[in-house]
Chains A and B, each alone.
Chain A
């Protein structure tokens, strides 16, 4: 049994973290609102994407958010099903569901704002074409949200011992949601992989890379969120729970390290094939490695997203783990951007961008201030959903506690 209070192991300066996160949230919300207003007033005009690079920062945020949601849920729900310590309680599962939701909601907003006709999004459900990976993806994560929501409610019923026949559907539905949570991040890779027009995307490894990054960034987000919620929630836990928390954190840390190494391994495999066969998609890779945004790969992805977190996670000092997890969760966005943008930035037909000059008919993409601001709004929105989601969890728990006296601490 650890002698120190649980949360102080991981966030010895919780109040500092808390203050910083609130400041960040406020700043992001203010700037994000400016971006949002600009988006609604001026439409897509202030955006940097065009017709030859049609997708930019928002789509990267979308895939990153969707991936993290899948990763968080996969790990958390699997842990609940298999009874891993620190995952096995109803409250653990509900936190995982809220966290997954707080990653996927901003993703929906980001992709919605990217649409040319935002209000037509129901078309994807009303008359979808399943020859499109986009339709499949949309259906899959919508089904996931519905099933995860049902599981959230069933977990309360199960913990309260109410409506047993209904509550017994929890594990079967959870298994289904786990499959969804694994499928839609992989589909995100297939989303690009099926585009034969872009050699850099047209790779069977892409779904695997996306899944790996989802599980890695999901583990990172889960670790970070669990540490903070533990710290925020006080220390009214039993020694048994404390031990479980340590076990869980350590497992997440191992998961994270394994995920990072696996991702870099797959990435090396993908890059090395291109470089040993330069006729394939080397131009896009050269953009990734030595293009104008070289620092995104070397600095943000490899250094801040992999090397520094690996060094921090390699330490047994637990207070290093949350910053490492946060670095991974944030900087893996660069991995999405490095798939998305270079894949579009290499023309198939030479001279097309010079044939008819316009800023939207160019293969160079720079995200604009509006895009960054809206990106910040998405992060602030995710944080808001998480905080509100926890409050809803708390309110429903209180509601059950009033009605079911046996709904005790274990199920909080």
Chain B
């Protein structure tokens, strides 16, 4: 065995300069060269075609036109429009009017008045309850920014839903076309198609997408009797399906949306029945406004006209549809 021989020879003499043997030189024939060129041309053409096809303007994936019109009944016992009307009632009324138009004529926007936000996190919790979000999944966190030095301190709160960008960076990165922008501007995810690669999470500069890793709030809790506040009741509730995007989702057995990317969708399932997004409804300071910016008389249109609003990270060119009054 050569290795045996070398055991007795720990240090080898310096190696001589490697000898370059004459090149064997395999060359291509004319036919091989032509075939290579043909394959290269076919490959490049195929790739260009794929890119061109995937970048062309496609027909909307969601239904549009008269079929999307929703005639929602006006609640009988509500006061009509007027100076005394609560903003929530006004937004709800305008929502019903917007739903009476085809989907492509609606332009949902959210306006958040940071001067009114008290940082109560009711919107965060309302959203979690509405969409039955598991641990680690959050659609609308509220950040706190502290400026100044004690005792001259100012706190400013920034609720951060999905920005529903006009140029959403999370959409083109999806390798399986599982996320897209609806005609009304809401970006949604097809949980049944999403493979859970999390590319969209990295692409969103606002951190508005979170992944459902399969946790439950009741994991590891001690057993209790049937009360909803005890573990068994809470567990039973937590394992019931949720109804995001108007569908029934049951996470049990690693089913979607477990394993998927998840995001705020302006409570699309509520909009469909004439209800405001949960975060707007639960806002105790009436700091969250929601409505159709295509309606010039809507509250959100008024706010956008009257105030100097800002969007988050405007330099990225995502054109968010969530506006802040600071």
A residues near B (Cβ < 8 Å) are 1-5, 7-9, 11-16, 43-45, 47, 50-52, 54-55, 80-85, 88, 114-117, 120-121, 123-124, 127-135, 138, 168-169, 171-173, 175-176, 179, 194-198, 231, 235, 240, 243-244, 246-247, 249-250, 316-319, 344, 347-352, 354-356, 358-361
Q: Are A54 and B211 in contact (CB under 8 A)?
A: yes
CA distance A135 to B172 in the complex (A): 11
Task: Contacts A52-B207, A134-B197, A247-B20 given; indicate if A45 touches B213 (C-beta within 8 A).
Answer: yes
CA distance A45 to B3 in the complex (A): 47
User: Is B59 interfacial (CB 8 A cutoff)?
Assistant: no
Q: Which of A1, A8, A198, A235 is the most central at the interface, judged by chain B CB atoms within 10 Å of its CB? A: A8
Q: Which of A12, A173, A246, A360 contacts B9 (CB 8 A)?
A: A12
0/1 per residue, B286-325, Cβ < 8 Å to A?
A: 0000000000000000000000000011001000000000
> Which residues of B sit under 8 angstroms from A195, Cβ to Cβ?
169, 173, 202-203
- Count of inter-chain pairs, beta carbons less than 8 A: 266
CA distance A135 to B313 in the complex (A): 28
Task: Contacts A5-B2, A132-B175, A134-B175 given; indicate if A50 touches B26 (C-beta within 8 A).
Answer: no
Q: Which of A116, A131, A133 contacts B198 (CB 8 A)?
A: A116
Given A115-B197, A316-B17, 16 new contacts (CB under 8 A): A2-B18, A8-B6, A13-B6, A83-B27, A88-B25, A115-B196, A117-B256, A117-B259, A120-B193, A130-B54, A131-B171, A195-B173, A240-B21, A356-B141, A359-B136, A360-B135
> Which residues of B sit under 8 angstroms from A173, Cβ to Cβ?
39
Q: Are B207 and A352 in contact (CB under 8 A)?
A: yes
Question: Smallest Cβ distance from A166 to chain B, in angstroms?
Answer: 12
B residues near A (Cβ < 8 Å) are 1-7, 9-10, 12, 14-21, 23-29, 31-32, 35-36, 38-40, 43, 50-51, 53-55, 124, 135-138, 141-145, 158, 160, 169, 171-178, 193-199, 201-207, 209-215, 254, 256, 258-261, 312-313, 316
Q: Which of B3, B17, B210 contacts A51 (CB 8 A)?
A: B210
Q: Which of A129, A138, A231 is the most central at the interface, judged by chain B CB atoms within 10 Å of its CB? A: A129
Q: By DSSP majority rule, is chain B's interface helix, strand, loop, or mixed?
A: loop
- The 4 nearest A-B residue pairs measured at CB: A116-B196, A116-B259, A355-B141, A197-B205
Question: Smallest Cβ distance from A73 to chain B, in angstroms?
Answer: 16
A169 closest partner in B (C-beta): B35
Q: Are B53 and A130 in contact (CB under 8 A)?
A: yes
CA distance A135 to B201 in the complex (A): 16
> Which residues of A sit under 8 angstroms from B14, Cβ to Cβ?
316-317
> Which residues of B sit under 8 angstroms from A2, Cβ to Cβ?
15-16, 18-19
CA distance A123 to B194 in the complex (A): 9
Task: Contacts A124-B176, A350-B143 given; indicate if A247 touches B21 (C-beta within 8 A).
Answer: yes
Task: Contacts A5-B2, A130-B51, A176-B39 given; indicate if A316 touches B15 (C-beta within 8 A).
Answer: yes
CA distance A188 to B1 in the complex (A): 44
CA distance A184 to B124 in the complex (A): 42
> Which residues of A sit under 8 angstroms from B254, Cβ to Cβ?
43
CA distance A317 to B135 in the complex (A): 58
Question: Smallest Cβ distance from A362 to chain B, in angstroms?
Answer: 10
CA distance A131 to B43 in the complex (A): 18
Q: Are A249 and B18 in contact (CB under 8 A)?
A: yes
Task: Contacts A124-B195, A132-B175, A355-B160 given; indicate if A350 touches B136 (C-beta within 8 A).
Answer: no
Question: Smallest Cβ distance from A346 to chain B, in angstroms?
Answer: 11
Question: Smallest Cβ distance from B265 to chain A, in angstroms?
Answer: 17
Question: Smallest Cβ distance from B11 to chain A, in angstroms?
Answer: 9
Question: Smallest Cβ distance from A172 to chain B, in angstroms?
Answer: 4
B13 closest partner in A (C-beta): A4
> Which residues of B sit under 8 angstroms from A8, Cβ to Cβ?
2-3, 5-6, 12
> Which residues of B sit under 8 angstroms from A128, Cβ to Cβ?
54, 175-177
Q: Which of B19, B143, B174 contacts A351 (CB 8 A)?
A: B143
Q: Which of B10, B25, B29, B209 contacts A83 (CB 8 A)?
A: B25
Q: Are B141 and A348 in contact (CB under 8 A)?
A: no
CA distance A171 to B28 in the complex (A): 7
> Which residues of B sit under 8 angstroms from A360, Cβ to Cβ?
135-136, 210-211, 213
CA distance A240 to B24 in the complex (A): 11
Question: Smallest Cβ distance from A318 to chain B, in angstroms?
Answer: 5
> Which residues of B sit under 8 angstroms from A348, Cβ to Cβ?
205-207, 313
Q: Are B195 and A120 in contact (CB under 8 A)?
A: yes
Task: Contacts A83-B25, A85-B24, A198-B202 given; indicate if A351 touches B144 (C-beta within 8 A).
Answer: yes
8 residue pairs bridging A and B, Cβ less than 8 Å apart: A123-B195, A128-B177, A129-B174, A168-B29, A171-B28, A176-B43, A352-B143, A352-B160
